[in-house]
Structure 1
Amino acid sequence: MTGKSLSGATTVAVAGILVAFLVAAGCVGGQPSDSSVSQQITVTGSTTVLPIAEKAREAFEDEYPSAGIMVSGGGSSVGIKAVGEGTADIGMTSRDLKPEEVAGYPGIVRHHVADDAILLIVHPENTVDRLTLDGARGIYNGTYTNWNQVGGSDRQIVVVGRDSASGTREFFSEYVLEKEDFTKTQEEFNSNGGIQQKVSRTPGAIGYVGLGYTEGVKALSLDIDGTAVEPTLENITGKNYPISRPLFMLTNGEPDGLARQYLDFIMSTEGQQIVASVDYIPVQG
C-alpha cells in the first residue's frame, strides 16, 4: 500500500469515528438523539409555572427518551438568578424582571408560555364566597382579623401567603396590597402547593395561588362594583377577572439545542394543550 493510499484510508477512518461521535452525542439532526447517551438540561424557578414544565417534560421525554430534563421549583427569584448566572438552562418566573435583574442579567430572553390568574382560596366550609379587593387588602395588611368583618362567621382569619422569593407574592403585593406591608401574622410557604395544603386543612385560612392549585379548596369570586366575578377561564381570558398575569420561561441568550427543542415543544399545539390541561391559559391557538 502506498503512502497516499494509507493517508486516504486514515482520513476516512477518522471521519467515520467523528460522525459516530456526533451521532452519539446527539449533535446530528434537529431532534434529540435516541442513542444511549443522554442530553440533559435543568429547568428551575416559579412553582406556578412548575406544573406546565413537569407535564411538558413527561410528554417530551416519552417522545425523545434520550432527553433528560430536570425540573425543580424554588420561586421566581431563584429561576431568574439561576438562568442569569448559568446554573440552569431555563428559568421559570410568574413575574416580570425587576430593573436590577435586567441590569444584572442583560442577556436574559423571556419566552411567554402561558397566562395565569391569582386566586384567593379558603377552606370549603367557609361561608364567604366573595371578597372585594379592599376586603382582601384588609385581610392581608392585618386590618381584618375575623371572618365576621368581611361577611363570614365568627372565626379568626389565618393569613397564608408566599415567601419573599415568590413571583406570585410580588404580583399580589403590587396589585392587591398596593405595596403595603403584609400582616406580621402571615404564615409563609415556599410553594403554591404548600399554601393549597394548609388552606385545605385549616377552616379559618385564606391563601392565594395560581390557577392550577384548587383541589380541596374553594376559590373566591371577586366583588367588582357589586358583581361577583368568578375566576373562570372565560372571565380571565375576557379580562373580567382582574388579577391575571403572564408566565415566562427564561434563557440566557437565544436558546439552542435541547433547550430550544423543549421550548418549541411547549409552544406547539401539543404543548399548549398541556398548558390548558393543567388549568392555565394557552397563548398560542
Structure 2
Amino acid sequence: MRKHFTRFTMLGLLIILAGCASWIDRGESITAVGSSALQPLAESAAESFQTNNPGRFINVQGGGSGTGLSQVQAGAVQIGNSDVFAEEKNGVDADLLVSYKVATVGITPIVNNNVGITNLALEDLRDIFTGKITNWKEVGGKDQKIVLLNRANGSGTRNTFERWVLDGQTAKQSQEQDSSGMVRQIVADTPGAISYVSFSYVTDEITPISIDGVAPTDENVMTNEWVIWSYEHMYTKGEATGLTKEFIEYVLSDAIQDTVVGKLGYIPISKMQVQRDWQGNVIE
C-alpha cells in the first residue's frame, strides 16, 4: 500500500512539474534580475502587469547590475536590469544584448541625519571616499569620525557614483552592501555614516547632500546640472519577444511612465533634456 502511494505521489509530482515546464515554455513566466536601483520600479510594474494579465507572471530579483547583465547574457534569465551600459562591464559582450531604456535615475550622496552637513564641495566628497578626509569637522560638521559605506563591486549605482565623483581615483576600502535599501538603513542607524543611493531610495531617515550648491533633484538631472545619474536599462539577449516584449512595452507605456515612474522617484525618459552615450558624452 505504501509503495502504491509513493508511486502515485511521484507520478503526480512529475505531471505537475511537466505542466509547469510546459507553462513556462508557452511564455507565461519570465524572470528579471539585476539592478537594485531599478528593482522598485520593476516590481511595481510587474505587480500591475500581473493584475491586468491573470496567469502571467514576472519574477523580479535584485543582485546588482553586473549580475543582471551576466545572467541575461548567459540565457539564465529573460531580462537583465542594469543602471550602467553593457559596454561598461568587463566580461559582457554588449553586441549580444539589446537595451531598452525604461527610466532615468539620479544618484545622491546620503549621510546620517545627525552629521550636520547638507552640502559638500565635489573635491571634499572625493577626498572623503578616498580616505583623505576622515572627520566631519574637516568639512564644517561635527567632531565625529566619518564612517564610509559602499555598494558592492558589480553595483551599477557604485559604478555611476565613482565614475562622476572619484574621477579615476580608488575608493578607500570600507564596508560594502549589495542592497540599496540596506545601505539606507545602515546610514540612518550609524552615527557619522555616509554612502550613496538612487533618488528612489531617499527618505526622511537620511539626509541627501548637495554638491557645490547644486541640489540632487529631478529637475537638475533633466538638464545634466546634476551629473550623477544613469539610465535604467532592461537588457535582453537579442530582441525581446513574447511575454518579455509585452512586459517591457508595458513598462514603457503611459500607464507606467506617467504615474508609477515619477511616484517611485525615477524620471521618465521623455522628460530628459539631454542624452548621454555609454562613455558619458552628452549627445546633442
- Using the size of structure 1 for normalisation, the TM-score is 0.82
Question: Match of 2:223, as an amino acid?
Answer: G
- Runs of 4+ more than 4 Å apart: 24-27, 99-103
Indicate whether 1:181 and 2:170 are aligned.
yes
In the other structure, the counterpart of 1:91 is 80
In the other structure, the counterpart of 2:269 is 283
Larger Rg, first or second structure (1 or 2) = 1
- The change in CA–CA distance for 1:198 and 1:84 in structure 2 (over 3 A counts) is same
237, 252, 263: which one aligns with 2:222: 237
Shift of 1:59: 0.7
In the other structure, the counterpart of 1:208 is 196
Question: Match of 2:256, as an amino acid?
Answer: G
Report if aligned partners of 2:69, 2:235 keep a CA contact under 8 Å in 1. Answer: yes
In the other structure, the counterpart of 2:233 is 248
Q: C-alpha separation between the residues in 2 aligned to 1:26 and 1:129?
A: 50
Report if aligned partners of 2:27, 2:242 keep a CA contact under 8 Å in 1. Answer: no
- The change in CA–CA distance for 1:274 and 1:81 in structure 2 (over 3 A counts) is same
**SS of 1:98's equivalent?**
helix
Question: Match of 1:67, as an amino acid?
Answer: R
242, 263, 277: which one aligns with 2:248: 263
Q: C-alpha separation between the residues in 2 aligned to 1:189 and 1:100?
A: 19
In the other structure, the counterpart of 1:54 is 43
Report if aligned partners of 1:38, 1:68 keep a CA contact under 8 Å in 2. Answer: no
Residue segments in structure 2 that go unaligned for 5+ positions in a row? 1-21, 272-284
Alignment size in residue pairs: 248
**SS of 2:233's equivalent?**
strand
**SS of 2:200's equivalent?**
coil
Report if aligned partners of 1:44, 1:72 keep a CA contact under 8 Å in 2. Answer: yes
- The change in CA–CA distance for 1:54 and 1:99 in structure 2 (over 3 A counts) is closer
Q: C-alpha separation between the residues in 2 aligned to 1:243 and 1:99?
A: 16
- The change in CA–CA distance for 1:113 and 1:230 in structure 2 (over 3 A counts) is same
In the other structure, the counterpart of 2:5 is none
**SS of 2:219's equivalent?**
helix
Shift of 1:284: 3.3
Q: C-alpha separation between the residues in 2 aligned to 1:72 and 1:280?
A: 18
Indicate whether 1:195 and 2:183 are aligned.
yes
In the other structure, the counterpart of 1:119 is 108
Q: C-alpha separation between the residues in 2 aligned to 1:256 and 1:72?
A: 20
Q: C-alpha separation between the residues in 1 aligned to 2:116 and 2:134?
A: 16
Could you list the per-position Cα deviations for residues 3-23 of structure 1 after superposition, in whole angstroms to 9, with x for gaps in the alignment?
Answer: xxxxxxxxxxxxxxxxxxxxx
Report if aligned partners of 2:87, 2:94 keep a CA contact under 8 Å in 1. Answer: no
- Using the size of structure 2 for normalisation, the TM-score is 0.83
Indicate whether 1:138 and 2:127 are aligned.
yes
Question: Match of 1:232, as an amino acid?
Answer: T
Matches within 5 A, 1:57-72: 57-72=46-61
Question: Match of 1:263, as an amino acid?
Answer: I
Q: C-alpha separation between the residues in 2 aligned to 1:125 and 1:150?
A: 14
**SS of 1:231's equivalent?**
coil
- The change in CA–CA distance for 1:207 and 1:103 in structure 2 (over 3 A counts) is closer
RMSD of Structure 2 on Structure 1 (CA)? 2.0
Indicate whether 1:151 and 2:140 are aligned.
yes
Q: C-alpha separation between the residues in 1 aligned to 2:87 and 2:221?
A: 25
